[in-house]
Chain A
């Protein structure tokens, strides 16, 4: 496959260091303070415009930091035809930004051409697996690169699922060559919501397929006397998720790790502090990367 090769800048690869999600509120602060974080991640769709301030700042920041593109709108699991326009725009963005990592979600968000702007879980069945293998292969072929697929946080599961979520993700990775983006907060949220075993999940996931880890805060809602955890990305990472993160690092070694905080966004320094905490757990892997 022929795709445009652009002159490479010194730091394309996202190393096994701690990064933070880049939000427009922080563009100026990042350029002025040059925080000591390993890399930045953006939501790909926020840069599907043609120009202006979003690109001005992202390209400036990209000069000094590796960048990861994280998609929320490809709707990989949808039964609709894959949106070729979306893929074309993502491909153009990849050529322009030259990201170290490109990721999407194990979920669907559209039907009949209508989009929900939400990440909805799939039933984990052979039908869904075969469907996803086809879609993901098409996406990776079009983009000419590997995609990391993230485990979703979920608030429901289907009674006819025949795979555990981590088994489904492992199988998808084995059969398409995709990587896995392990969101440790999502593991915690889904396990609490469905009564799954988080340790079993982490031990079950194919460690060598994991290319990135996400960390975020969630909200605990009380519904009919039962806790439901919602993946709100609006607060610090909780102690239980930090503990799971340390377990994940022991099981799979140091991986690029991201602090996601995109609702009620705090000052940049708070995100940088969260990243420092992740970096401290990355330990040897982090020093090696630096």
Chain B
């Protein structure tokens, strides 16, 4: 008889990584079947269950590579990065980086950023709710403090810059898409904001200057500091309409005066 510890160690090694099948069968009743067949039911449940969980989170990656390739990719990922919690919401966060190093996917250079976009969408979907900024509060700020004004982004906000047209790739692979399906992967990259103002996640393309500006605000630089860098990319960058737009659309949810 094995201890509970040894039973679980052997079972997990086999169910997740196909290792030590002979050891894992010890102590299990055959009861009309090969014990290996009974164990295989659990191994398949585990590996297929986790593969489906990944597919649910990465439907576009799945569509781009096809079911069979995705299964192969997912099994390899699961062996390296099995879930680390009983709640699967955090499972699959390393998938984009894993794809980038996954040799069979080398010919699909846009795939890691596509996966990144899908993960940001998933994170934004589950992030906390925040009440929009009351603009009258902003009106009360002492004009002498404007130089030290900073903004807090909605907790769901994620900013992504890619060398590939991942927004068009994402859109073309949504259910019911009827536009131009052919995309030239060398047509140039994009800068994206992913956030969830209320219930629905939005993906919004940004100019390079606006993307940099919002990224710097998110890094807790002041408006003045962020504008200073944004205009080095685009000398026509105008901060006021950008701030007004993102306050009105629930992205900038709070502000602070930096000391």
Measured CB to CB, the residues of A under 8 A from B are 45, 48-56, 71-75, 77-79, 83, 85-86, 89, 108-118, 120, 122-123, 125, 127-128, 131, 155-160, 194-195, 223-224, 226, 228, 230
Contact yes or no, A53 B16, CB < 8 A: no
Give the docked Cα–Cα distance between A170 and B34 (Å): 31
Task: Assess whether A117 is in contact with B88, with CB atoms less than 8 Å apart.
Answer: yes
Given A123-B27, A156-B38, are A113 and B84 also a contact pair (CB < 8 Å)? yes
> Which A residues touch B37, using CB under 8 A?
223-224
Q: Is the CB of B41 within 8 A of A228?
A: yes
At the interface, yes or no: B85 with Cβ under 8 Å from chain A?
Answer: yes
Expressed in whole angstroms, the Cα–Cα distance for A123 and B8 within the complex equals 10
The reply to whether B27 and A160 form a contact with Cβ atoms under 8 Å apart is yes
30 contacts between A and B (CB under 8 A): A45-B88, A45-B89, A50-B126, A50-B129, A50-B155, A51-B129, A53-B199, A73-B86, A73-B87, A83-B86, A86-B86, A109-B86, A110-B86, A111-B12, A112-B12, A115-B85, A115-B86, A116-B42, A118-B42, A118-B46, A120-B15, A123-B4, A127-B3, A156-B39, A156-B42, A157-B31, A224-B33, A226-B32, A226-B33, A230-B41
> Which of B1, B8, B9, B82 has the most chain A CB atoms inside 10 A of its CB?
B8
Taking CB atoms, residues of chain A closer than 8 Å to B167 are none
The docked-state distance in angstroms from the alpha carbon of A101 to that of B129 is: 26
Are the CB atoms of A123 and B7 closer together than 8 Å? yes
Chain B residues whose CB sits within 8 angstroms of the CB of A49 once the complex forms: 89, 125-127
Q: Contacts of B15 on A, CB cut-off 8 Å?
A: 116, 118, 120
B1-23 contact mask (Cβ, 8 Å, vs A): 1 or 0: 10111011101100110000000
* A52 with B129, Cβ < 8 A, contacts A127-B4, A156-B42 known: yes
A120 contacts B85, C-beta separation under 8 Å = no
7 tightest CB-CB pairs across the interface, nearest first?
A73-B86, A49-B126, A51-B129, A50-B128, A111-B12, A45-B87, A115-B83
B19–chain A nearest beta-carbon distance, Å: 12
CB distance from B70 to the nearest CB of A (A): 17
Chain B residue numbers with a CB within 8 Å of A118 are 15, 42, 45-46, 49
Interface magnitude class on chain B: 35 or more
- Whether A128 lies near B126 (C-beta < 8 A) is no
Given contacts A48-B89, A116-B15, A155 and B53 within 8 Å (CB-CB): no
**Interface residues as binary, B44-56 with A (CB distance below 8 Å gives 1, 0 otherwise):** 0110011001000
Determine the chain A residues whose CB is within 8 A of the CB of B132 once the complex forms. Answer: none
| 8 Å CB contact of A157 from B29, B45, B82 | B29
Chain B nearest CB, measured from A129 CB (Å): 10
Within the complex, which residue of B8, B29, B32 is in contact with A108, where a contact is CB–CB below 8 Å? Answer: B8
Name the distance in Å between A279's Cβ and chain B's nearest Cβ: 32
| CB-based contact A159/B126 at 8 Å | no
Output the nearest chain A residue to B11 by Cβ-Cβ distance.
Answer: A120
Q: Which residues of B contact A79 (CB under 8 A)?
A: 4-5, 8
B133 at the interface (CB under 8 A from A): no
Chain A residues, CB < 8 A from B88: 45, 73, 117
A157 and B29 CA atoms in complex are apart in Å by 6
